[in-house]
Amino acid sequence: MNLATYFSEHTGVGVMATSDGAGVVDTAIYSKPHVEGTDTIIFIMRDRLTHKNLQENGHASYLFLEDGRGYIGVRMFLAKVDESTEQELIASMTRRHLTPEEDKARGDKFLVRFRVVKVLALIGGEEISLQ
């Protein structure tokens, strides 16, 4: 699977699951990731529970349910690589455009990069290889 092609050709709903250092799990709706290379994805996130959990536990899971009939999509197992607060880079990758005042009112943004450890089909245990 080529992640850049997959996410450019499909629409749907994404859900990220994280847990804190004690293992308490949270889920949150997230847009499609930005893709870098063959096995790296990037999310822009605010300093909310998902981001806070990643400070304690750098592992996450991202589920993407494709639009349409049935349950088609992928489950991605992720390991945090790094994060950045470089505002120019974040602004260049931000898809949602708010006024500067609205954006500031919503809080700080972080660019969080993950290595994709494993990809499974949405239903069942079939592993999907990355290209």
Would you state the structure tokens that stand for residue 32, as one six-digit string?
Answer: 């499609």
Judge whether 88 lies within some domain.
yes
Closest CA to 36 of 75, 93, 91: 93
Q: How much of the chain, in percent, has pLDDT values that exceed 70?
A: 99
More confident residue, 85 or 96: 85
Count of domains observed in the chain: 1
CA distance 107 to 46: 6
Judge whether 77 lies within some domain.
yes
Model confidence pLDDT, tens digit, residues 9-21: 999 999 999 999 9
Give me the CATH number covering residue 44.
2.30.110.10
CA distance 92 to 118: 28
Paired strand residues for 55: none
Would you state the structure tokens that stand for residue 96, as one six-digit string?
Answer: 């949602």
pLDDT at 104 over 90: no
pLDDT at 96 over 80: no
CA distance 94 to 102: 14
